[in-house]
Amino acid sequence: MNVKINFLSQHLNDIDYDELCLQLYYLTDHLTSDYPHHKEWFFKKHLPFIGKDREIIYLTFHRNICGVAFLKKTALEKKICTFYVTEHSRNHGVGHLLLEECFKYLETTKPLISMPKYKVRYFLYYVYKYDWKITQILQEFYNKDNDEVVFNGELS
């Protein structure tokens, strides 16, 4: 699969930047079932800091977005905030390529990452490969229906 790696910060001054941001949001909009405040977080807490301490890496195949990661990198925190690969792109190496790009940007193979307990099984390969450690299990943290499993650090 011939996939192109893109960084949103490289498009800050593009005429279609706002449209691109909407595409990236709508690709992940379904996450509101696990993270009820996803929309507010994306537009008010993540996008305004792109190119500063936030980044969005997205992969394209034939100009279609096939994977996306929302990242936060500060002196105190190296975090994968959101990680998503489109259904038709799974099992083709897109997730692995995207994760490797996250590691390069964050400068670690052990970033802070959390996910609902029921999604941990999708990441077990990476948990074992990179020796990620469960450091917290939070009840009703983002969502009253799912425990949030935290790897490689702590959510405050």
DSSP E strand stretches across 40-147: 54-61, 64-73, 78-85, 112-116, 134-138
Whether domain 4-111 has CATH 3.40.50.2000: the reply is: no
pTM above 0.85, yes or no: yes
Confidence of residue 138 (pLDDT cuts 50, 70, 90): very high
Q: How buried is residue 155: exposed, middle or buried, by Cβ count under 10 Å (0-12/13-18/19+)?
A: middle
Confidence of residue 140 (pLDDT cuts 50, 70, 90): confident
Domain assignments of the chain as residue spans, ordered by start: 4-111
- pLDDT value at 1 more than 70: no
Q: Sign of torsion, CA 91 97 39 144?
A: positive
Contact 57, 7 (CB under 8 A): yes
53-106 pLDDT, tens digit per residue, is 999 999 999 999 999 999 999 999 999 999 999 999 999 999 999 999 999 999
